[in-house]
Amino acid sequence: MTSFDSSCALFTWSSPIVDEFPRSKSTCGPIKCGQARLYWDLGKYPAVAVAGLGDASKWDELDEINGAKENVRIAASAGVRALAGCKIGRVEVEDLEDAQAAAEGALLANYKFQPYKCKDKQTSLPEVSLAEQAEGAVEWERGWILGGAQNWARVLMETPANLMTPTIFAETVQTKMATVGNGVQVLVHDEAWAKEKGMGSFLSVTNGTKEPAKFLEITYKGEGSDDKCIALVGKGVTFDSGGISIKPSASMDQMRADMGGAANVAATIYALAQLKAPVHVKGFIPLCENMPSGTATKPGDVVFAMNGKSICVDNTDAEGRLILADALCYASTFEPKFIVDIATLTGAIKVALGDCVAGVFSTNSALWNQIHEAGSDTGDRVWRMPLFKHYSDQMCDHGGYDLNNLGKGKGGGSCTAAAFLREFVPKNTPWMHIDIAGVMGDCSDQTWMGAKGMTGRPMRTLVQFITNAKV
């Protein structure tokens, strides 16, 4: 194994699930990062993939990424995909000197969404494990949990909206959390409960659909954690047609993933519980559909949030902020250390930042610095956006009601959305809003994740940030 150039990762070997597989004759020359070369019949293994680890210093400082870790993910992915492409049944992965990153890369690459395809048409994926003689079993396990949780978030987001209604989402989360066995509590509240709490803003979004809205409250309290919780709020619009302000039909199917924030919150807590992280986290997830009908909220309607503020709904497609407003109010009643909300909130964030980084707005620079650092480590980066008073004025300066769900000015749609949310967080509670609409699906930067489609990003960054967060 050591006879190979150390700049390459020799990391996978396997047993075949078929008698014959294609044999590559290309065995010469350097192997670039992200590429893998297959060798056959080397000792005890019928196939070995050697993947290029590349040079971590090739990442520019301004890329703000831990290049060594990211290269390991890319290499692990390349190796697993090369072997999977030859219908290899079992793949063992070397630790690549960073077993956690190796597990993340291997697991996220070994994913395909195909539950609704008939069994004999499904692509079989190999079993992946850490090689017996490799080091870093503990780190591998951590990466395995993180990669697995992100793949779960991908499935939640990818599942068609008729098969992932608010009710099904709630049941799916309950079932999943029950498998952890570390005391994750899941409460599923109904519309009557939300009405009693005064969540008129949240409930206004569900007026146009027959699917009942739900509100999930998930609690994980790790051993030795503080009494005060960290609050995570996730947008859970299981399908967003836009409502009466209906969206164009092209790509509307993508709006099945408008519950990406909810998927991130659920998967983050699922990972933290499996990792037995010593943190106290509560997840708050408002779940509903946004549909047009004779009973739907109309543009210009005024609704009232849990904190008594009145909101004019000028555009029913700006519904994420309406459901988050009440979820933020409710989360605040627990007097958390800080609140983070995660939402596929605005198309404007994709215009601003593209599909490689999530936008973060924060009232607390310490929290921003910590998530920024976490994003560099996990390779799933974040970028700070402004919370200027200018944007708040655009949302709040109206006669007749307290807020409008649309900004007055042109442009800056992500910033005015964040300014809107800020009105529902108590001034003394540190808060962070993460707009993940840009990194929701089909991202062009992390092609090593294999399959196209919904990404579950930036779940691994959230887990790392919450594990170490200090305010």
Residues forming the site for Zn ion (CB under 5 A): 240, 317, 319
Catalytic residue (choose from 90, 247, 309, 384) = 247
List all residues 6 or more positions away from 145 whose beta carbon is below 8 Å from its beta carbon: 271, 274, 275
Rounded to whole angstroms, what are the CA distances from 7 to 70, 130, 342?
A: 15, 20, 38
Q: Which is nearer to Zn ion, 52 or 242 (CB)?
A: 242
Question: Distance between CA atoms of 122 and 112, rounded to whole angstroms?
Answer: 9
Cβ 290 to Zn ion, closest distance in Å? Answer: 6
Q: Which is nearer to Zn ion, 177 or 237 (CB)?
A: 237
The residue nearest Zn ion at its CB is: 317
Q: How many H-runs (helices) and E-runs (strands) does the chain carry?
A: 13, 17
Q: Are the C-beta atoms of residues 435 and 354 closer than 8 Å to each other?
A: no
Cβ 299 to Zn ion, closest distance in Å? Answer: 13
Catalytic annotation on 381?
Answer: no
Q: Which is nearer to Zn ion, 240 or 377 (CB)?
A: 240
Catalytic annotation on 256?
Answer: no
Cβ 242 to Zn ion, closest distance in Å? Answer: 6
Residues pairing with 236 in the sheet: 287
Residues pairing with 342 in the sheet: 234, 434
Q: Which is nearer to Zn ion, 85 or 347 (CB)?
A: 347
* DSSP-assigned states of every residue in 180-240: T-S--EEEEE-HHHHHHTT-HHHHHHGGG-SSPPEEEEEEEE-TT--SSPEEEEE-EEEEE
Q: Are the C-beta atoms of residues 199 and 305 closer than 8 Å to each other?
A: yes
Cβ 416 to Zn ion, closest distance in Å? Answer: 14
Q: Which is nearer to Zn ion, 228 or 298 (CB)?
A: 298
Catalytic residue (choose from 321, 350, 422, 460) = 321
Cβ 347 to Zn ion, closest distance in Å? Answer: 9
DSSP 3-state assignment of 51?
Answer: strand
Catalytic amino acids?
Answer: 247, 321
